[in-house]
Amino acid sequence: MSNIEQFKNRNVSEEYFLVDIEDYPTDGWGKFKRVVKRTFQGELFVGLWVVLREMIKFDIHTVQYPKEKMPIGPRYRAVHEMKRLWESGTERCIGCGLCEKICISDCIRMETKIDENSRKEVSEYSINLGRCIFCGYCAEVCPELAITHGGRYENASEQRAHFVMYEDMLTPIDMLKAGQQQEFEGFGAITPHEDERVKKTPLAY
């Protein structure tokens, strides 16, 4: 069946059957018989055989974490990343403070100041990962697609408060140049053909 009906059919009861389970013994004699039966049936050796057989086959599926890691989906929401502009390599963050405002666990704090070009500059930025619930609101609200979630999910720490600073999250410039900065595809990311929907301002001159 290749049509959609197979997914719409929620009635799965015809596939089900009841497992044949013997009634539990109620008297002492019955219980004694069950113990003797289980002890001498040899089920123990069935189990031992399965283990031995799989061991000899050397067909092992265990991921050798932390040496090996599973690939993670592009929408996974782990430790935040700060992105750079592809063209110029400058930081995308403009210091608008929306992530700080929207954060429901109140774990983002930032300090801004005016820089020598009279522009707003982020002088300090931190996220307390100990409090962060990785809800993704900060990435969603960011008007510049500057803060996003990344795939780094290891948060083990010796203390509850565990801060990550701006520089740690920022894409290293050499990675950007090597084209290794990854765009976030999760919620809040730009949708395809977005530019076609933008209404343009008349610029007659």
Partner 1 sequence: MSNITINIDGREIQTEEGEFILNAARANDIFIPAICYLTRCSPTLACRICLVEADGKQVYACNAKAKDGMNITTSTETIETERRAIMEVYDVNHPLECGVCDQSGECELQNYTLEMGVDSQSYSIKDVERKDKDWGHIHYNPGLCIVCERCVTVCKDMIGDNALKTVARGADAIENEYKESMPKDAYAMWNKLNKSIIGLTSGEEMLDCTSCGECAAVCPVGALVDTHFIYKSNAWELHQVPATCGHCSAGCQITYDVKHTSIENSDGKIYRVMNEWNYVSLCGAGRYGFDYDNKVQAKDEVAFAKAVEAFKKADTLAFTSTITNEEAYILQSLKEKFGYKLVNAEAKAFQTFLKNYSEVSGTSLYGSDLTQTHAADFIISLGTALKSDNPNARYAFNNAISMNKGAGLYFHPLKDPIIDGIGKNVMSIAHAPLTEEAVLYLLLDLFADKSKLPTSVVEYIGSFHSLKTVTVEETIKEKVVEIVKVKKVNEETGEEEEVEEEKTSMVPKKISKEVQVDENALLEIVDAPQNFSESLEKFLAKKESFSLIVGPDLYTHPNAKNLARLVALLEKYSAFKLVMIPSLTNTLGVSLICDLDDARGTYTVGYNTKGDFTLSALGEGDLDMPALNQQEGTLTSIDKRVNPTNAAVGYKGYELNDIANALGLSAKLTIDYTVKLPACKGFKAELFDNLPNRYENDGTEVRGYVLDILSTETSATESVEAITDAKLDGTIIYLANPVRQFSEFTNVSANLKEEIGIYMSESYLKTSDFNAGDTVKVKTQNGELSTKIISDNKIEGEIATLPTFDSNLNSQALFSGYRFSTATIQGV
- Is residue 12 part of the contact set for partner 1 (CB under 8 A)? no
Q: How far apart are CA 121 and CA 118, in angstroms?
A: 9
Phi-psi label, residue 67: left if phi above 0, alpha if psi -120 to 50, beta otherwise: alpha
Kindly state the smallest distance separating residue 88's Cβ from partner 1, in Å.
17
Q: How far apart are CA 130 and CA 140, in angstroms?
A: 20
Which of 10, 67, 160, 199 forms a contact with partner 1 (CB under 8 A)?
199
Cis (ω within 30 of 0) for the bond into 66? Answer: yes
Q: How far apart are CA 20 and CA 23, in angstroms?
A: 9
Which of 33, 34, 75, 101 forms a contact with partner 1 (CB under 8 A)?
101
Which of 70, 156, 178, 204 forms a contact with partner 1 (CB under 8 A)?
204
- Measured from the CB atom, the residue of 97 and 151 that comes closer to partner 1 is 97
Kindly state the smallest distance separating residue 119's Cβ from partner 1, in Å.
8
User: Tokens for 130?
Assistant: 């100990």
Residues 117-176 contacting partner 1, CB under 8 A: 118-121, 124, 126, 143-144
DSSP summary character for residue 87: T
Q: How far apart are CA 35 and CA 106, in angstroms?
A: 59
From 60-68, 108-116, 176-184, 185-193, span contacting partner 1 (CB under 8 A): 108-116
- Is residue 114 part of the contact set for partner 1 (CB under 8 A)? yes
Interface residue list for partner 1 (CB under 8 A): 94-98, 100-101, 109-114, 118-121, 124, 126, 143-144, 199, 201-205
